[in-house]
Amino acid sequence: MLLIASLLAHSSLADIIKVGDGHPYSSVKEGLEAAAPFDTVLLADQTFYEINLRIEKPLTLTGTHQSIIDGELQDEILVIAADSVVVSGITIQNVGYSFIKDRAGIRVEEKDYAIIENCRLFNTFFGIYLQKSNHTIVRGNLIEGSDGSTETYTGNAIHLWYCEEALIEDNITRFHRDGIYLEFVNHSQVNRNVSFRNIRYGLHFMFSNHDDYTGNTFEDNGSGVAVMFSKWINMRHNKFINNWGSASFGLLLKEIYDGELSNNLFEDNTTAIHAEGANRILITQNIIRNNGWALKIMGNCFDNRITKNNFMGNNFNVATNSRQTMDTYEANYWDDYSGYDLDEDGFGDVPHRPVKLFAYIVERVPISIVMLRSLFIEMINVAEYIIPSLTPENLADSIPVLEPYQL
């Protein structure tokens, strides 16, 4: 009896508030006001035209993908202003752009433990916006801006600002400014998201430390991923594909320290990895193929280890603007290695210098790129390879492997 009584008591604690035509509450706003903490607000399959909905109690807002809240291109739609709110399964669309306010489809306003999952957001200026919110989960959402928009008329699909321990996973973003944007975000995970056809970056880190991003795909964005002014970032098992354009790159590492870049695939990018002020990064077991430049590493990069990667089919494998290097290159596979392996231990017996003279000239005088594929260039590359005079002398892989790694 006691058990049944407690179960009954429990069920009466969490009511389901149905909202829609024919239900007690016809608008989401009324439903949210009527709900007690820990209730579930269930939206019917219809379109609600409402804006500035504030959730100020810990409750669950749910529905199906046909439960649509439409902002009619006005102000923002859903604001989470309580801890432990769950928003799941609904569709949110049409937030108007603003140059004064970062309007969002769903905003979490300085509250913790929110879960936003399986929602669909269409044409919201910013998609999901977390500000000063910790322990948030953003999972399985589809976030689409409007195709053909420009950088100023669209915000970021998932935007995090001053957050701790966020979990961003399995989301799909496209047609936004940045797919995922993190600023002052620490100890967070970004896993298995797909960011494609965004206007600026697929993923963008600023001033964020101790974060991991794993298993994501960044395809066809303005540029793939930019990691700037951040420390202890691990980047593993991601795909950087087809970020192609005159100023595009797969991954930009700028002012970052102590990270790891491993087991990633870089394919068909203008520049696969562009490193500037990157220090103590371990770059290992990546496949870097068919890019314009595989690795552009500037003279202000120190103590990076580039080891056990496959460099294949790139126009330039390594380019640099400096005559010395403080980085270590070891046991990589270089498709243009022309040495031999007499003792058959799998490692080449002569070091490989991956910086071609032409790559060095282009870094110095960018316009000389028009000589790409000229016979003269091929000849000076060979001459320089045999007797290095201009390219960094110590930038060499002393034990290049002869067979590509199976990664």
Partner 1 sequence: MNKILKYGFLDLIRSNWLILYTAFYLIVSVGVLMANGDISKSVISLLNVIIILIPLIATLYGIIYYYNSRDYVEMLLAQPITRKSIFMGQFLGLSLSLSTSFVVGTLIPFVFFGVFRSAYLMHFLFLLIAGVFLTFIFCGLSYLLGLANDNKLKGFGLAILLWLFFAIVYDGVVVISLVKYEDYPLEKFTMLSTLINPIDLSRVFIMLKFDTAALFGYTGALFNKFFGSSLGVIVSVAALSLWSIIPTWLIVRTANKKDF
CA 132/CA 52 separation, integer angstroms: 19
- What's the closest the beta carbon of residue 241 comes to partner 1, in angstroms? 14
Are 113 and 143 contacting, i.e. CB atoms less than 8 angstroms apart? Answer: no
Closer residue to partner 1 (CB): 73 or 379: 379
Q: Does 371 bind partner 1 (CB under 8 A)?
A: yes
Q: Which span (9-17, 112-120, 204-212, 371-379) binds partner 1, by CB under 8 A?
A: 371-379
- What's the closest the beta carbon of residue 377 comes to partner 1, in angstroms? 7
Q: What are phi and psi of 160, to 5 degrees?
A: -120, 135
- What's the closest the beta carbon of residue 280 comes to partner 1, in angstroms? 29
Q: Does 367 bind partner 1 (CB under 8 A)?
A: yes
Element (H, E) at 32: helix 28-34
- Taking CB under 8 A as the criterion, the residue among 81, 228, 282, 377 binding partner 1 is 377
Residue indicated by tokens 């290095």: 388
Question: How many other CB atoms are there within 10 angstroms of residue 113's CB atom?
Answer: 16
Closer residue to partner 1 (CB): 263 or 381: 381
Residue 202's nearest CA partner among 240, 232, 151, 245 is 240
- What's the closest the beta carbon of residue 287 comes to partner 1, in angstroms? 19
CA 270/CA 62 separation, integer angstroms: 43
Residue 198's nearest CA partner among 215, 213, 181 is 181
| Long-range contacts from 119-123, C-beta under 8 angstroms, 24+ separation | 119/87, 119/88, 119/89, 119/90, 119/91, 119/92, 120/65, 120/90, 120/91, 120/92, 121/91, 121/92, 121/93, 121/157, 122/91, 122/92, 122/93, 122/94, 123/93, 123/94, 123/95
Tokens for 4, please give them: 């049944």
Distances (CA, A) of 196 to 18, 48, 128, 240, 265: 36, 29, 17, 10, 15
3-state SS, residue 358: helix
Q: Does 248 bind partner 1 (CB under 8 A)?
A: yes
Closer residue to partner 1 (CB): 136 or 270: 270
- What's the closest the beta carbon of residue 262 comes to partner 1, in angstroms? 27
Closer residue to partner 1 (CB): 232 or 244: 244
Q: Does 376 bind partner 1 (CB under 8 A)?
A: yes
Helices 357-364 and 375-386, axial angle in degrees (round to 10) = 110
Question: How many chain residues are in contact with partner 1, going by CB under 8 A?
Answer: 26
Site string for partner 1, 311-350 (x = CB under 8 A): ----x-----------------------------------
Q: Does 10 bind partner 1 (CB under 8 A)?
A: no
Tokens for 361, please give them: 């000239």
188-247 residues in contact with partner 1 (CB under 8 A) are: 244-247
262-291 residues in contact with partner 1 (CB under 8 A) are: 270
- What's the closest the beta carbon of residue 229 comes to partner 1, in angstroms? 25
Q: Which span (26-34, 177-185, 295-303, 367-375) binds partner 1, by CB under 8 A?
A: 367-375
- What's the closest the beta carbon of residue 238 comes to partner 1, in angstroms? 22
Closer residue to partner 1 (CB): 25 or 266: 266
Q: Does 9 bind partner 1 (CB under 8 A)?
A: no
Chain residues binding partner 1 by CB under 8 A are 244-248, 270, 292-293, 315, 361, 364-377, 379-380
